[in-house]
Structure 1
């Protein structure tokens, strides 16, 4: 009788242990927090976990010397699996005359295109406080709206953009990030190809609450053309657990025919 009772206790304990194991929440993969630049942002957080998602809406203004450019975008990014993120973005741009250039012929207002992107974080190192990822952006470039009124094709070209990202936490508060890759543009009608190399270097100071201040440097190299450098000082402030606002300025530093610019980005994490 004692043996039967002991056996029943053992079976009950085994069932309870099995239930606890099967009901336990799966262990989440390691994810390090890295400050994300505001102008050339990432497709998804490095080390993103399945189910994470984010909505960004932005607006910017730029002095193009002969005219003023107003730009905006809406983008939605989500992680379909651990460390694998997807993004869809629709940017647009409209133009206005600047003071003293009322006779200047403005470019056509346009929805710039549709960007589809993916990013995979292949390394997250707790020891080195470093994450690395590769990604790819495919953009279909729309024709300007006035051209569409004259039976122009819907798409005037496409852009291929493989990217590599490396980020490290130099200290708990000082974060560095490199975002680089070639941008290859194909124009359908003229059958022309144009390639530039983008190198974006970033350094941020992150406060304990997640807010940050920093500098984003956008560099563009295109063959024999003089390299273009734009400095983008920026900061991000969280207004709640779900909503943050980023503000940045664009200061041309070298080889650039553009003037000053500014941009805001609203970040909502549902």
Structure 2
């Protein structure tokens, strides 16, 4: 998809969010660790966060780790932007831009939904790709909540060579105690690689604005055996 078409998608997304009627307060739902959000759906203007995710299937080979520092900023109520630098070991592989818009809350403030756009420029190939996802979260009670994200990766006008592939992310969370959240995240990505990953995880708040998240799970790529995967994300709100 050309960049101009991607820009049109962003304009539609932000216009729809701006036109939403007044809604109940947004529910407090944790963000998935691996496929994270650009601030919670109910983020207020001015909120800012820096974080970094590191993932590896070879814990004893640090150079094989994939990691990505990023900055997230809510430039308006319910709207956020993200800049990310994906690395593979010491190599900067891409530049990544994300935009997110909340559409409102319902069910007396227990449910919320929105949309997320991701644009990635691959430095090696010079190729630009897009993905677009719909997000729907729900808080069942004081302890249980979930976040669902479903969409299309590598958007194109014609489906070929793995483009227009399914993206699916589901996360279920349980608030164990104040500052401690347990969860499990399911990632499914179509296309050439066809990845499926299941990642049980723990989120622990260390200070008022510092959070650490850790996951240990398993992933399976097409034509490859299932293998263990480890991950950690450090979060600092500003």
TM-score by length of structure 2 reads 0.79
- 1:2-13 equivalent positions in 2, closer than 5 A: none
1:216 to 185, 200, 211: 185
1:138/1:245 CA distance change after superposition, 3 Å? same
CA offsets, 1:33-52, max 9 Å, x none? 10111000002211111011
1:227/1:61 CA distance change after superposition, 3 Å? closer
- 1:226-237 equivalent positions in 2, closer than 5 A: 228-237=195-204
Question: 1:82 — aligned with what?
Answer: 77
* 2:227 partner SS: coil
In 2: Cα distance, 1:246 partner to 1:208 partner = 15
* 2:80 partner SS: strand
1:265/1:256 CA distance change after superposition, 3 Å? farther
Q: Does 1:259 align with 2:227?
A: yes
How many residues get paired? 210
Larger radius of gyration: 1
Q: Does 1:173 align with 2:143?
A: yes
**Conservation of the 8 A alpha-carbon contact between 1:73 and 1:90:** yes
1:31/1:128 CA distance change after superposition, 3 Å? closer
Question: 1:248 — aligned with what?
Answer: 215
**Conservation of the 8 A alpha-carbon contact between 2:58 and 2:65:** no
Aligned-pair CA distance for 1:53: 0.8
In 1: Cα distance, 2:195 partner to 2:54 partner = 22
Question: 1:132 — aligned with what?
Answer: 113
1:40 to 30, 35, 38: 35
1:251/1:73 CA distance change after superposition, 3 Å? same
Q: Any unmatched runs of 5+ in structure 1?
A: 1-28, 95-108, 144-154
Aligned-pair CA distance for 1:235: 0.4
* 1:168 partner SS: strand
* 1:58 partner SS: strand
Question: 1:92 — aligned with what?
Answer: 87
* 1:194 partner SS: coil
Q: CA RMSD in A?
A: 2.7
* 2:207 partner SS: coil
1:157 to 127, 134, 138: 127
Question: 1:202 — aligned with what?
Answer: 171
Question: 1:73 — aligned with what?
Answer: 68
Displacement over 3 Å in runs of 4+ = 225-228, 253-256
TM-score by length of structure 1 reads 0.70
